[in-house]
Each structure stands twice: as C-alpha cells, then as structure tokens.
C-alpha cells in the first residue's frame, strides 16, 4: 500500500476547514479517509520547497532507503552543506522523517500537487 500526501496551496483557514470536515465525518460515524496534507502559503512557496534538487533528494532517498545526510550527499554527488539545508527544509515540512537510528527517510511514495492559476476571491 502506498503512502501518499497532498501538497496544497492554501491558508491556515483552509487547513482548518479541511480538518473540521474530516472531524465531522468521524463524528457522524463515517470512516474518514486519512488525508495527509502539507499546506503552502503560495504556489511560489510550494515550488521553492519542492524545487527540482529537493525532488531529487526525495526520490533518491525514497529509492535508496534510510541513510545519513552525508551518505545522501555522496550518493547525489552534492556538497554536504547544501544537501543538509535541503533535508532540513523537507524535514521541517514533514516530507522527510528520522528513523529510530536517526537516519533520514522519505516516508511518502506519492506527493500530489495541484496548481490553481486563478487568483483567490
């Protein structure tokens, strides 16, 4: 079974609305689907966090499995400091986690990202 997360451009209000809707489903006795999501304040913020280099970090880490940041930097052929910066940002956003041995892991198989070109009303 794959583990998926949705990348959403939205405000704190939209995050709370989504959470409230899921809670109401549970209160009504319905089995609410687990909806893991990461919220971004703007499309630009999403693209900054999910930059091409960071996407490679996620893909390689997912494929290779748990490892240290140093091992990941060596695998990618990139400078440790830059990979460390990328990992810290992705970890802060919940897209990278630490296992029991403190190695980094990419827990998601799929990241769904939607882009809405319309301006907010």
pLDDT tens digits along 38-76 = 888 888 899 999 999 999 999 999 999 999 999 999 999
| Both tokens assigned to 97 | 């986690």
Distance of CA 101 to the CA centre of its chain: 21
What global pTM score does this model have? Answer: 0.78
User: 99, 66 in Cβ contact below 8 A?
Assistant: yes
Measured CA to CA, the distance from residue 27 to residue 88 in angstroms comes to 36
| Residue tagged 């956003």 (tokens) | 93
- Reading the block at residue 13, the tokens are 């209000």
Condensed to tens digits (0 to 9), the pLDDT of residues 10-46 reads 755 665 666 666 667 667 777 655 568 888 888 889 9
Thinking of the domain 4-113, which architecture would CATH place it in?
Orthogonal Bundle (1.10)
């Amino acid at each position: 079974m794959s583990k998926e997360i949705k990348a959403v451009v939205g405000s704190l209000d939209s995050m709370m609305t989504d959470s409230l809707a899921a809670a109401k489903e549970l209160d009504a006795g319905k089995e609410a689907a687990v909806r893991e999501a990461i919220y971004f304040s703007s499309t630009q913020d999403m693209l900054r966090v999910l930059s091409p280099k960071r996407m490679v970090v996620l893909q390689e880490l997912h494929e290779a499995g748990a490892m240290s940041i140093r091992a990941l930097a060596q695998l990618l052929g990139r400078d440790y400091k830059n990979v460390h910066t990328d990992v810290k940002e992705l970890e802060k956003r919940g897209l990278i986690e630490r296992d029991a041995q403190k190695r980094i892991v990419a827990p998601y198989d799929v990241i769904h990202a939607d882009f809405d070109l319309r301006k907010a009303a």
